[in-house]
Each structure stands twice: as structure tokens, then as C-alpha cells.
């Protein structure tokens, strides 16, 4: 694509963009009476205007039906988790029986580690990335200790090489191979929250299986952002939150994927509860948990209807816009941001997100050796919402459903004037 660093070019791109009108379907925070430009969808996606009505529907049905809402609400609550399997299966690339929603990310990570991290005295190690999101670090650390191992013995962290900012895939593969006798689980981020690096999930999963271990991924920054084929890549399990690119709202219900070779087998170990029990038998009060033969067999408690309604409304937008279109726009928008940043010669910064387009999603992380904080403050003062992470990193995530080429140009325009 031949890009141009001009406002007229950016505006022309917006005119040609078939998803441009989706911007109007979202609420924007205000700055000086105007919509901000919002590049923080990698932290918390914006609220779709349809969310209010979706939540109101459930409030009305609760008001009007009481307990009968479980069967007679417009969207019967008994089956609420089922409404997500179709849209989410397209987004994460799996079969409908392999995906469900419940709890939130870290809780689901713990629950799936109970299923998939089954250490023995010889095979007990977990390979993860150094600098993983804190909650993932805490989850892995406490699981390892819970199973009676020391973190020093059981956790292997892979870091970027000296002088580099991102992890080389070859280093991940060679670490797996070097620990083939003792690794139980490879647990990595799909996209690293700090650098924006997208893992090569397919090759990592292959190497993990060759070593006789389980491959699990935290897709917090990948779900709804990049192309995934969890089933075909043979990934064992994955978890994600729904409040970033999926726009489900703060603390929205999390998602999880379990490959059907485990999901269809009710004897796969797990912690059970009535919502994961076979629906036929649920009220017969018989002894014995019988898991549903799909990912919903990991559900434990009653579906959290008010929390889930916003995600349901948001996924309807994904369905209507088409995830293929969303991904195509996302690539172009991020490529355009990269192109514009490359035109700036006099401000000193480094794009630490990989330049290889297959190794990133909608986020570019910019490392400023100096003035990072100042630049961040100037962006905020100009109504451009980006976030700042020490030391000196500004993360810019042009989410394609509500960001435009002109938005990206405005960011460039302020940065180049620095």
C-alpha cells in the first residue's frame, strides 16, 4: 500500500473505509466538549451505544418475569452462555463446542491450569515469558506453589536477548526443546501487553506437543484483535478477557477455549458446579457431576446475565461488521500509523513492536528514551487517549471499529510538532 503523510490522504482513506460508520455506534469520552481520539482499546474498549438497550432488556425481564426469566426472558437466562459460542468461535478460530464465557481471565486461567497443569515429580515445569502481565505471573507462581514445587525449580522465563526488546520465536522453541523431559506446560501471552508482540502460536504449540507438554495461551490482547485458529493450530487451552478489543465493558465476563479432544470428554478433570453439569440432570438432585460434553462443562456458577449482556451486544457488532473486515482495516490502520511514525526524524523514539506485520496486532508501543511522559501529557491535553508505561513507553492501539485514519494522522501531527 502506498501511503501518504497528509491529512487529505487520511480523510480520503476514511471515505473509502466501509467500516467508517461504525465509529458512530460508540460513545466517546469528552474533552473540551469534543469526542476524544481513543487509542486505549487495548486496555478498555469503548461502550457501544447498543449496550444500554441490551442491559435494559435484562433489567426489564428481571422486573417482569422474576425467576421465570430463566426460561421466559427474551434471551432465556438458562442458556445465556450459549449465545456467545457462535460469534466467539469465529473470532478465536475454533468449533462452537470449544468455547464458552464465565468469570474473568485470571479466574479462568486458574481453573484451566487445574485441568491442564498436572505436574509429576519429573515433568512439572512451566515455561512463560519474562515480564508477563502481573496477574499471569501471580497465577503461575501460586499454582506451582500449590502443587508443592518451588518457583525457582518450576518456572522458566524466556526474555528478549541482551539489547533486544522482543522475544525471538527461535528462543521459545529452543527453550521448549531443551526442557523436553521436564516441561509440563507452556503458558504464553498471545500478544504481549507491553511490546505488542504477537506470538507464533502455531509453531509454539507444535514444539510444545513434540515435547509432550500442554500449550495454553492468554489471549487478553489477541481476542477480537488478530487472526486466530486455535482449533487448527491444536492449542490445548486459552483464556481471554472481553473488555479490550471485544468491548464487553469493565470486568466483563471472560472467555475460554478448550480443544474438543478434552472438551467433548466429560471425564477430563476440572472443578465442577451446576452450570457445567449436563442440563437434563441438573435438577434431578442425583449424586455425581456429569460435565456437559463441551467447553460449557467448565462453567461453574449461574450465568452473570447483567455482566454478559454488554458483551452480547458488542459481539453483535462484530457479527454485523464481519471479523474479516475488522482485521483487514486493523492491519491497514496500524500499518498507516507505522508509516507516519517512520516519517518523523527529529523526535527520538523506537517502535518496539515488531515491524513484521504477522507478529503484531492493532498496537504499536513506542519507546521514548526521554520526554515520554511529556509527550503523553501533550497527547492527553489534545484529546488523544493513549497510555504510558514506565520507562518511557506510549502504547497506541487504533482499534478498527471506532478509530479512523484521520485519528491516526492527528496523533502523528502532534508528535511531529514536538
Ligand X SMILES: Cc1ncc(COP(=O)(O)O)c(C=O)c1O
> Nearer to ligand X by C-beta: 132 or 154?
132
Cα gap 409→11, rounded to integer Å: 9
Helix (H, G, I), strand (E, B) or coil at 176: helix
State the CB neighbour count (10 A cutoff) for residue 42: 25
Q: Does 195 sit near ligand X (CB under 6 A)? A: no
Q: Which stretch binds ligand X (CB under 6 A): 65-73, 79-87, 217-225, 316-324?
A: 217-225
Q: Does 199 sit near ligand X (CB under 6 A)? A: no
Q: How far is the CB of 193 from ligand X (least distance, A)?
A: 5
Q: How far is the CB of 160 from ligand X (least distance, A)?
A: 17
Residue 84 cell numbers, joined: 456467545
Q: How far is the CB of 336 from ligand X (least distance, A)?
A: 25
Q: Does 218 sit near ligand X (CB under 6 A)? A: yes
> Nearer to ligand X by C-beta: 38 or 193?
193
Asked if 84 and 257 touch (Cβ cutoff 8 Å), the reply is no
Cα gap 50→4, rounded to integer Å: 35
Q: How far is the CB of 379 from ligand X (least distance, A)?
A: 21
Q: Which stretch binds ligand X (CB under 6 A): 130-138, 149-157, 336-344, 370-378?
A: 130-138
Q: Does 302 sit near ligand X (CB under 6 A)? A: no
Which of 165, 57, 355, 177 has the alpha carbon at shortest distance from 156? 177
Q: Does 133 sit near ligand X (CB under 6 A)? A: yes
User: Taking the CA of residue 75 as centre, how many other CA atoms within 13 Å lie in the half-sphere pointing to its CB?
Assistant: 19
Cα gap 157→304, rounded to integer Å: 35
> Of all helices (H) and strands (E), which one includes residue 257?
strand 254-258
Q: How far is the CB of 44 from ligand X (least distance, A)?
A: 9
Cα gap 272→277, rounded to integer Å: 8
**Maximum CA extent, the chain:** 72
Asked if 10 and 389 touch (Cβ cutoff 8 Å), the reply is no
> Nearer to ligand X by C-beta: 116 or 409?
116
Q: Does 241 sit near ligand X (CB under 6 A)? A: yes
Q: Which stretch binds ligand X (CB under 6 A): 16-24, 51-59, 98-106, 346-354?
A: 98-106
Measured in Å, how far apart are the chain's first and last C-alpha atoms?
Answer: 28
> Nearer to ligand X by C-beta: 383 or 398?
398
Q: Does 189 sit near ligand X (CB under 6 A)? A: yes
Asked if 85 and 68 touch (Cβ cutoff 8 Å), the reply is no
* Residue 391 preceded by cis peptide, ω within 30: yes
Q: Does 106 sit near ligand X (CB under 6 A)? A: yes
Q: Does 104 sit near ligand X (CB under 6 A)? A: yes
> Nearer to ligand X by C-beta: 189 or 361?
189
Q: How far is the CB of 283 from ligand X (least distance, A)?
A: 31
One of 129, 136, 236, 332 touching ligand X (CB under 6 A): 136
> Nearer to ligand X by C-beta: 176 or 220?
220
> Nearer to ligand X by C-beta: 69 or 196?
196
Which residue number is nearest to ligand X in terms of Cβ? 106
Q: Does 220 sit near ligand X (CB under 6 A)? A: yes
Q: Does 308 sit near ligand X (CB under 6 A)? A: no
> Nearer to ligand X by C-beta: 41 or 189?
189
C-alpha distances (whole Å) from 76 to each of 51, 52, 303 are 18, 18, 11
Q: What is the CA radius of gyration of the chain?
A: 22
Cα gap 204→227, rounded to integer Å: 16
One of 12, 52, 96, 135 touching ligand X (CB under 6 A): 135
Q: Does 214 sit near ligand X (CB under 6 A)? A: no
SS3 content of the chain, % helix, strand, coil (to 5): 45, 15, 40
- Provide the Cα torsion 86, 90, 93, 95; round to 10°: 20
> Nearer to ligand X by C-beta: 238 or 317?
238
Residues that bind ligand X (CB under 6 A): 104-106, 133, 135-136, 189, 193, 218, 220-221, 241, 254
Amino acid at each position: 500500500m502506498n501511503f501518504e503523510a497528509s491529512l487529505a490522504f487520511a480523510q480520503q482513506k476514511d471515505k473509502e473505509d466501509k467500516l467508517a460508520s461504525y465509529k458512530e455506534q460508540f460513545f466517546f469520552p469528552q474533552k473540551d466538549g469534543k469526542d476524544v481520539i481513543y487509542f486505549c482499546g487495548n486496555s478498555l474498549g469503548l461502550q457501544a451505544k447498543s449496550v444500554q438497550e441490551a442491559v435494559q432488556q435484562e433489567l426489564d425481564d428481571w422486573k417482569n418475569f422474576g425467576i421465570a426469566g430463566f426460561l421466559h426472558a427474551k434471551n432465556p437466562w438458562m442458556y445465556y452462555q450459549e449465545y456467545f459460542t457462535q460469534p466467539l468461535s469465529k473470532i478465536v478460530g475454533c468449533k462452537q463446542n470449544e468455547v464458552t464465557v464465565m468469570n474473568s481471565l485470571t479466574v479462568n486461567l486458574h481453573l484451566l491450569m487445574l485441568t491442564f497443569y498436572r505436574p509429576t515429580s519429573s515433568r512439572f515445569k512451566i515455561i512463560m515469558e519474562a515480564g508477563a502481565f502481573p496477574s499471569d505471573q501471580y497465577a503461575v507462581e501460586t499454582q506451582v506453589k500449590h502443587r508443592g514445587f518451588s518457583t525457582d525449580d518450576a518456572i522458566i522465563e524466556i526474555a528478549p536477548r541482551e539489547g533486544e526488546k522482543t522475544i525471538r520465536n527461535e528462543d521459545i522453541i529452543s527453550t521448549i526443546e531443551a526442557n523436553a523431559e521436564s516441561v509440563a506446560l507452556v503458558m504464553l501471552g498471545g500478544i504481549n501487553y507491553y511490546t505488542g508482540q504477537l506470538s507464533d502460536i502455531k509453531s509454539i504449540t507444535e514444539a510444545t506437543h513434540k515435547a509432550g507438554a500442554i500449550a495454553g495461551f492468554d489471549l487478553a490482547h489477541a481476542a477480537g484483535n488478530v487472526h486466530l485458529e486455535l482449533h487448527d493450530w491444536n492449542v490445548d487451552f486459552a483464556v481471554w478477557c472481553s473488555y479490550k478489543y471485544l468491548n464487553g465493558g469493565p470486568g466483563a465476563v471472560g472467555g475460554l477455549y478448550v480443544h474438543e479432544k478434552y472438551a467433548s470428554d466429560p471425564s477430563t478433570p476440572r472443578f465442577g458446579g451446576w452450570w457445567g453439569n449436563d442440563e437434563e440432570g441438573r435438577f434431578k438432585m442425583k449424586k455425581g457431576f456429569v460435565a456437559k460434553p463441551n467447553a460449557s462443562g467448565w462453567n461453574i456458577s449461574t450465568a452473570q446475565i447483567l455482566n454478559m449482556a454488554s458483551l452480547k451486544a458488542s459481539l453483535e457488532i462484530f457479527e454485523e461488521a464481519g471479523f474479516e473486515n475488522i482485521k483487514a482495516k486493523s492491519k491497514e490502520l496500524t500499518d498507516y500509523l507505522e508509516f507516519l511514525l517512520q516519517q518523523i526524524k527529529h523526535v527520538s523514539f523506537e517502535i518496539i513492536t515488531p515491524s513484521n506485520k504477522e507478529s503484531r496486532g492493532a498496537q504499536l508501543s513506542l519507546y521514548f528514551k526521554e520526554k515520554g511522559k511529556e509527550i503523553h501529557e501533550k497527547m492527553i491535553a489534545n484529546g488523544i487517549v493513549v497510555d504510558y508505561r514506565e520507562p518511557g513507553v506510549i502504547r497506541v492501539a487504533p482499534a478498527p471499529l471506532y478509530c479512523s485514519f484521520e485519528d491516526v494522522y492527528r496523533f502523528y501531527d502532534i508528535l511531529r510538532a514536538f
